[in-house]
Structure 1
Amino acid sequence: MKKVLLGVLTMASIVFSSCSDDENTSVSQENLNLSISGLEDLGPDYVYEGWIMVDGSPVTTGTFTVDASGNLSQTSFPVYADQLALATAFVLSIEPAVDPDPAPAATKLLAGNFSGNSATVSSSNLVGDYNDASGKYILATPTDMDDTNEASGVWFLDNSGASPVAGLSLPTLPDGWKYEGWVVLNGTPVSTGTFTSVSAADDNAATSPYKGDTNNGPAYPGEDYVMGSAAGISFPLDLRGNATVVISVEPYPDNSAAPFTLKPLAGSVPMNAEVHTVQDLSAGPVLAISGSVLR
């Protein structure tokens, strides 16, 4: 991941103290202008909030929402001129709509340093750089004893060697984010579960409503769709030629049951895929969100 200046890098690991408006002696204000595409509607419970770094501390620039078409509810924000002149970086976070905490949440999405009067901001600076991400998976249903439905499960592991190894190569996420696997059936995504480690079981390994009753499966992210139903389809089913496998990056706490905008890996399940045999994922549709900030 490319490095950014200290003021941005330390935002994920230090405790913040927000600057109060009462501390400002100047009433002169200037506008901070955002030009960001690719943001999604967070629903009624969450908003985006901008921050400028001033003397190592975050100062809010205000909150906004995004509609279903990706349009920001507000793109120009009045900020105290003296603080804006001293700002070294801009950060965008995801916050509860009703937020008792004046400091930024852990879920920080975009960041960038000011160079003169502008800053180029990107999710790659905070969430992860996915240009080198890669993924493999197998079709299998290890949570039941039925060997006739092996094409109804997806496990993110590589079993081509002497012993299975992690099938995903992804950056370690900062606080406030998790990965989530999906199979897309008839245009509807169905989760395989959330995870933070590519070499451990995902969060719903023991509680999934779709898995079999023999065990929880291997110690890697994945899912058996061997019982129940979702997306109007009853399980088990043959995923070959009928599903797309996706890895997304999700805010935590999560704002939606659907995949978030960032989707670094994806791939259609081949019609001729053999069960228990490694299949490759390709670069996903959205590796990063970026934009610019002007003061």
Structure 2
Amino acid sequence: MKKILLTLAAVSALTFVSCNDDDDNTPITSNLNLNISGLENLGAEYVYEGWVIVNGLPVSTGTFSVNDSGELSQSSFVVEANTLAVATKFVLSIEPTNDTDPAPANTKILAGDFSGNSAGVTSTGIVGDFSNATGKYILATPTDGMMNNERSGIWFLDLTTGGPTTGLSLPTLSAGWKYEGWVVMNGTPISTGTFTDVAKADDNAAATNFKGNINNGPGYPGEDYIQNAPDGFTFPTDLRGATAVISVEPDPDNSSKPFTLKPLAHGIPSDANDHVTFSMGAGPVKEISGTVIR
């Protein structure tokens, strides 16, 4: 009987020690809470992913999507407590939905340093500072060699000194981002092309289907809407009364519409003359910001 009791006691002790060991190995977690507005729906191919920077290295905090109303699919994330406690920075990036790369993509949209238990995050420091952005443009159609539809093209250049000079003053973007020009006609945005250098032609200058057949136009961003109009439109057209917009787009970009960041915009006057320089004003969104709490 004594042997049986001793055996039971030994088993109980081992069981107790085993349970304690399991408890000791259970990681302690904390919640990371995001309070961010102004993000947009990325569609099915991309998601947002949060990262905390620990000893200079990124640690993922999880992914989420955003619906058409700007609501986050998830705003609270469980993170290993020790990792979160020593994190110095929070970064939000745009990633492919089926991403096999463990590192953040170049398309980082928000970032901010932790101060205590919170971090104020903004797009200004990591995408670009658009507080001093300015823009000028003219109406003209230089790619068709004709002078009878000059209000069917827009070029982001300045003619106030006589010859054409750079019309846009914009910061150099971080890797993973490009500028894109747009004309919004009857509520529909139609691209003028993407670009990274305001003093050069945009990326599709030679390949656009819209331009005329004579040449590619001046060495600045812009577009002639001469042929191959989208459904519901007729080219050549008249851009007076439309809205000119400069947006900041993720690269790569899977959307045919302007991204949230739109630092410059201007309503083209209904009585605008061609080859006259017009100044753009502030766009609807120059910055996205929010707060992250650990």
Comparing 46-55 with 155-164, which one deviates more in the overlay?
155-164
Shift of 1:227: 1.2
Residue 252 (structure 1) aligned with residue 251 (structure 2): yes
TM-score by length of 2: 0.90
Poorly superposed stretches of 4+, deviation over 6 Å: none
Identity of aligned residues (%): 64
Q: Quick one: distance in 1 between partners of 2:61 and 2:160?
A: 51
Residue 292 (structure 1) aligned with residue 280 (structure 2): no
Partner of 1:5: none
Secondary structure of the 1:85 match is: helix
Secondary structure of the 1:77 match is: strand
**Contact 1:123–1:288 (CA<8 Å) still a contact in 2?**
yes
TM-score by length of 1: 0.90
Partner of 1:21: none
Unpaired segments ≥5 residues, structure 1: 1-24
Q: Quick one: distance in 1 between partners of 2:153 and 2:196?
A: 20
Shift of 1:125: 1.4
**Contact 1:108–1:127 (CA<8 Å) still a contact in 2?**
yes
Shift of 1:232: 1.0
Partner of 2:68: 68
Partner of 1:56: 56
The within-5 A match list for 1:30-109 is: 30-109=30-109
The within-5 A match list for 1:124-273 is: 124-230=124-230, 232-241=232-241, 243-273=242-272
Shift of 1:163: 3.0
Secondary structure of the 1:234 match is: coil
Q: Quick one: distance in 1 between partners of 2:124 and 2:145?
A: 43
Secondary structure of the 2:280 match is: strand
Unpaired segments ≥5 residues, structure 2: 1-24
Partner of 1:12: none
Q: Quick one: distance in 1 between partners of 2:141 and 2:79?
A: 56
Residue 112 (structure 1) aligned with residue 100 (structure 2): no
**Contact 1:177–1:252 (CA<8 Å) still a contact in 2?**
yes
Shift of 1:162: 4.0
Q: Quick one: distance in 2 between partners of 1:255 and 1:42?
A: 8
Q: Quick one: distance in 1 between partners of 2:163 and 2:120?
A: 44
Q: Quick one: distance in 2 between partners of 1:162 and 1:273?
A: 18
Q: Quick one: distance in 2 between partners of 1:255 and 1:75?
A: 24
**Contact 1:166–1:198 (CA<8 Å) still a contact in 2?**
yes
Shift of 1:196: 0.3
Amino acid at match of 1:146: M
Shift of 1:26: 7.0
